Structure 1
Amino acid sequence: MRAVRFEGDGKIALREVERPSPGPFDLLIRVEACGICGTDRHIVKGEFGASPPVTLGHEFSGIVESVGSGVTRFRVGERITADPNHGCGLCAPCREGKVNLCENLQPLGVRRDGGFADYALVPEAQAHALPLSIPPLHGAFCEPLACCIHGVDLAGLKTGASVIVLGGGVIGMLVVQLARLAGATRVVMATRQADKRALAQSIGATATVDPSGDDFLRRLIGESGLFPGGADAVFECAGVPETVTQMLKLTKRGGTAVLLGVLPPEARVAIEPLGLLLREVRLQASFLNPFTHARAAELIASGTVKVEPLISRTITLEEASDAIRQPAPRGEIRTLVVP
């Protein structure tokens, strides 16, 4: 079968590899779609740890082709979405229920073979059912949606809350929708690209702003701004130092700033600790998807969260290596690899 392999030192290529056989508690699935995440690009650039040689791709779903002898929850022909983040269950974080912080985490598509391939193995415990009635490409959004659910949970949004979302990629677009579902009445998306601002408003943002210009903060939190004094929650979804700095300034007294974007390891951000202290701003990092993947699958299956408008393009496995190696093209929300 074909698989997109990360081989270390920035090398990524399509290879012919042996089709895997399921162990006793594994599912072999025929991959229907796998999303290209920023993390995939970070891995190839050496900015995020992986275990080469490994098949990349951690946002995927597909049809069950065969099952191991011990599998009881799934049958051949069913559609599943894979939660790629497989904890050991033995370390202190796992025993405390913090599986996303597992000391021995073995994510599919990072340290174990993932979904940029014709077929992939998924442990039964990491599989969640999706109906055959939904569009096949939609299952690839379950993993990023699950990560966003965790971030929104950590923000503790209450009915009537005000929210600012920084960044117009797939994470920002999903957070906009989740914030509205959580009861936020005002959700503003900040992104430079006009087409992304239009898309955000079509899926639930109550307003959008272009963050360009020196008056950006004033337009949002000034006396005559959209949120005088700041918003209840601000989500950083762009993964750049500038927006990390901005989110702390945009959060109101007693509010929460949630870091969802992935920055390179060398990135540094200057903060004003006294200002955070006097305003009692909570800086909350959000990592992965502990026990939220099933909820994401339900939202995708029901159509409650809109993902069709977030598909920028579909490409083949033959095109995937170049697409991952290169920076995301302007305007991209999510590119899906369809074997």
Structure 2
Amino acid sequence: MKAMRLESIGNLFVREVEKPVPGPDDLLVRVEACGICGTDRHLLHGEFPSTPPVTLGHEFSGIVEAIGSGVKGFKLGARITGDPNISCGQCPQCQAGRANLCRNLKAIGISRDGGFADYVIVPQKQAFEIPLSLDPNHGAFCEPLACCLHGIDMAQIKAGSSVVVLGGGVIGLLTVQLARLAGATTVILSTRQQAKRTLAEELGATASVDPSASDIIARITGPDGLVPGGVDVVIECAGVAETVEQAPRLAKAGGTVVILGVMAQGETVRIEPFDILFRELRVLGSFINPFTHRRAADLVASGVINVEKLISRTITLEEAPEVIRNPPAAGEVKVLVVAASR
């Protein structure tokens, strides 16, 4: 079968590899769609921990083609979405219910072979069934949506809240929708790209701003701004220094800041601890998707979250290395690698 392999840092190729065989507790899944994530670019450049050589791809869904002898609850031909993050269940963090902070965390597509391939092995506890009637491309959104759900949970958005989302990529645009679903009546998206601002408003944002056109702090929190005095919740989804530094300044006194975007490992930013102290801000990191994948799969299957508008284009596996080697095109939200045989 074909697979896209990160052979070493900076070296990404599509190769012929042996088709995997499921173990007793595994499913063999024929991949239908797998999303390209910003983390894949970080992995290519050595900016996120990984263990090459490895097949990338952690946002995938597909059809069950073989089942291990110990698998229960899944049938051949079922469509599943895979939660890539595998916790050990035994370490202190797992025992405390913090599976995303597992000391022995492994991830499909990062530390074990993933979904940029014809087939992927998925442990049964990481598999979640989704309807066969669902558009196959939509299943690839369950993993990023699950990560956004965790950020929304941490933000503790209440009915009537005001929220600013920084970043107009797929994480930002999913977060806009979830914030509205959580009860926020004001949701502002900040991004430089007009196409993404327009899309955000189509998806539920009550306003959008271009941070390069004016002082975003004054535009949002000033006396004549959209939310004078600051917003209840700021969710940083861009993963760049500029927006991480902006985030605390956009929150009102007593507000919450959630860092959901992924910056490169080792990068630093400048913040003012006195401001966080004096205004008693809650500044939180949100890491992956503890116990949210089932909820995400149900939301995608229900159609409550619009993912179709987030698909910028679909490509073949052979085209994927070149896409990952380059920055996203202007206005691009999500690129999906889809199976040619589907």
Q: What SS is found at the alignment partner of 2:89?
A: coil
1:45-76 deviation digits (Å, cap 9, x = unpaired): 01011111110000000010010011111000
Taking the aligned partners of 2:108 and 2:245, their CA distance within structure 1 comes to 32
- Counterpart in 2 of 1:138? 138
Aligned to 2:280: 280
What's the secondary structure of 2:14's corresponding residue?
strand
Alpha-carbon displacement from aligned partner over 1:175-226 (angstroms, at most 9, x marks no partner): 0000000000000001111110010000110111111145221110000100
**Which secondary structure state, in structure 1, belongs to the residue aligned with residue 189 of structure 2?**
strand
Aligned: 1:200 with 2:170: no
Q: How many residues align?
A: 339
Alignment of 1:1-339 (within 5 A): 1-339=1-339
Amino acid at match of 1:57: G
The C-alpha deviation readout for 1:300-331, integer Å capped at 9, x for no partner, is 01001000000011000000111111122221
> Using the alignment, how far apart are the partners of 1:214 and 1:159 within structure 2?
30
- The code of the aligned residue for 1:235 comes to I
CA apart distance, 1:275: 1.1
Letter of the structure 2 residue corresponding to residue 290 of structure 1 = P
Give the match's secondary structure for 1:30. strand
**Contact in 1 for aligned 2:34/2:116 (Cα 8 Å):** yes
C-alpha RMSD of the superposition: 0.7
Q: CA shift at 1:168, angstroms?
A: 0.2
Mapped partners of 1:153, 1:59: distance in 2: 21
- Structure 1 distance, partners of 2:276, 2:4, is 44
Q: What SS does the corresponding residue of 1:142 show, helix, strand or coil?
A: helix
Instruction: Report the identity percentage.
Output: 62
Distance in 1 (CA, whole Å) between partners of 2:235 and 2:9 is: 33
SS in 1 for 2:229: coil
Normalised by the length of structure 1, the TM-score is 0.99
Q: Matched residues in 1 for 2:244 and 2:267: separation?
A: 11
Q: Secondary structure at the match of 2:120?
A: strand
Structure 1: distance between partners of 2:267 and 2:18: 39
Question: For the residues of structure 2 that align with 1:36 and 1:117, how far apart are their CA atoms?
Answer: 13
Q: Structure 2 CA distance, aligned partners of 1:239 and 1:280?
A: 23
Point out where structure 1 has 5 or more consecutive residues left out of the alignment. Answer: none
1:266 CA drift (Å) = 2.8
C-alpha distance in 2 between matches for 1:213 and 1:307 = 29
Partner amino acid, structure 2, of 1:149: L
Gaps of 5+ in 2: none
User: 3-state SS of the aligned residue for 2:106?
Assistant: coil
Partners of 2:183 and 2:159 in 1: CA distance: 4
What is the deviation of 1:141?
0.2
Letter in 2 for 1:51: T
Q: CA offset at residue 32 of structure 1?
A: 0.5
Q: Is the 8 A contact 2:9 2:43 kept in 1?
A: no
State the AA in 2 paired with 1:195. A
Aligned to 1:74, the other structure's residue is in SS state coil
- Structure 1 residue 91: deviation in Å? 1.2
Q: Secondary structure at the match of 2:268?
A: coil
Instruction: Describe the SS at the equivalent of 1:205.
Output: coil
Asked if the contact 2:9/2:52 (under 8 Å) is kept, the reply is: no
